[in-house]
Amino acid sequence: MQKFRIGIIGLRMGLEWAKAAATNPLSELTVVYDKFYDENQRIDKSFFESSGCRILRQEEEMYQAGLDIIIVASPDHIHAEQCIKALHTGSHVICEKPLAPTVAECCKIIDAVEKTGKMFMTGQVCRYAPGFILARKLVEDGRIGKIAFIESEYAHDYANTLGFGGWRKDPVVKREGFLGGGCHAMDLIRWFVGNPLEVTAYMNRKLLEANDWPTNDTGIAICRFPDDVIGKVFVSVGAKRPYTMRTVIYGTAGTIICDNTSTAIQIFEEPLRPQTGNEFSRIPVNINSHNVAAELEEFLQCLRQERDIPTDIYEGTRTVAFGEAALESARTGKPVKVQVITRP
């Protein structure tokens, strides 16, 4: 069986992708590249140097290697440039989330995808976490009726998670945490209830102010969705608490509480109240909060079967459009309609 030859750019975030590529029977980890391979002590050099892949010294070698797939796992602000190069050199592409910092940059990648005809996946890993998968199935099965309200939060303290060279707090890059981290929560909500129509957001910079953070560290977006569903996204990249992606779904017949770090999700079902009383029931799930192995497997199967990628270039761009609308609303103090991203 012929294996797909895979190259990876960015070896901190790319480590789990590399492990998945090295162990999947459909793929071969062929070459890897990181601009700061020698300097970055947090790169797992023992894995890469024992994996049998070639460690490149120049990025351009990646695009000349004749690869089937290139995985872009570098910092957000260089995603677009690297994805476009990879597509135009004939490779299919997987790009880590968020797809890019702006819709305008996403549209440049869309143009390259459409011109080259290559397959493209946005790495929205929350869609592959067992707890969220089960919660969505319960919703689809009608266990809590029709959704009326949904909320999701991304809380992760970046005070000591700056990225190599401090790129996450670089005043020139000016990474927006609401999009950079919060894309998880926004994409997850979209997966459950569809694309937001309008967003009103408020943001501040109090939790990382002492760290000279260049952008807002905390924000909330109130959202309107199709079918009269309303929702809330909370994002903090300075929250003084353990990491969480807690998500709550309120339906006409019950409520689900889920996340990607617990061994169970909670469900309350109104029809079962006589048996359960006013208590939530717990359904055990595996913890696999960064299940990139399942993402890669899906991409490889889509290539083999020539079927659509669930988290394709358009899905990735829609999540960025959600975040961009929230950022604009916070800047202007006004509700903002979310840009509609359609396929050709």
Q: How many residues would you count in the chain?
A: 344
Which of these, 116, 113, 115, 88, lies nearest to 100 by C-alpha position? 113
User: 131 and 212 share a domain?
Assistant: yes
User: 277 and 137 share a domain?
Assistant: yes
User: 59 and 140 share a domain?
Assistant: no
Q: Residue 288 pLDDT > 90, yes or no? A: no
Global pTM exceeds 0.95? yes
Q: 203-225: per-residue pLDDT in tens?
A: 999 999 999 999 999 999 999 99
Q: How far apart are CA 10 and CA 81, in angstroms?
A: 14
Chain centroid offset of residue 24 CA: 21
CATH classification of the domain holding 51: 3.40.50.720
Q: 157-215: per-residue pLDDT in tens?
A: 999 999 999 999 999 999 999 999 999 999 999 999 999 999 999 999 999 999 999 99
CATH classification of the domain holding 205: 3.30.360.10
Q: 19-55: per-residue pLDDT in tens?
A: 999 999 999 999 999 999 999 999 999 999 999 999 9
Asked if residue 76 is part of any domain, the answer here is yes
User: 11 and 112 share a domain?
Assistant: yes
Nearby residues of 309 by Cβ (< 8 Å), 6 or more positions away? 119, 120, 121, 298, 299, 302
Asked if residue 152 is part of any domain, the answer here is yes
Domain limits for position 13: 4-125+292-308
Mean pLDDT across the stretch 264-279?
95
Mean pLDDT across the stretch 82-108?
98
Reported as half-sphere exposure (CB side, CA atoms, 13 A), residue 108 has a value of 14
Identify the burial level of 81 via C-beta atoms within 10 angstroms of its C-beta, where 0-12 means exposed, 13-18 middle and 19 or more buried.
Answer: middle
User: 62 and 80 share a domain?
Assistant: yes
- pLDDT, residue 2, reads 82
User: 137 and 168 share a domain?
Assistant: yes
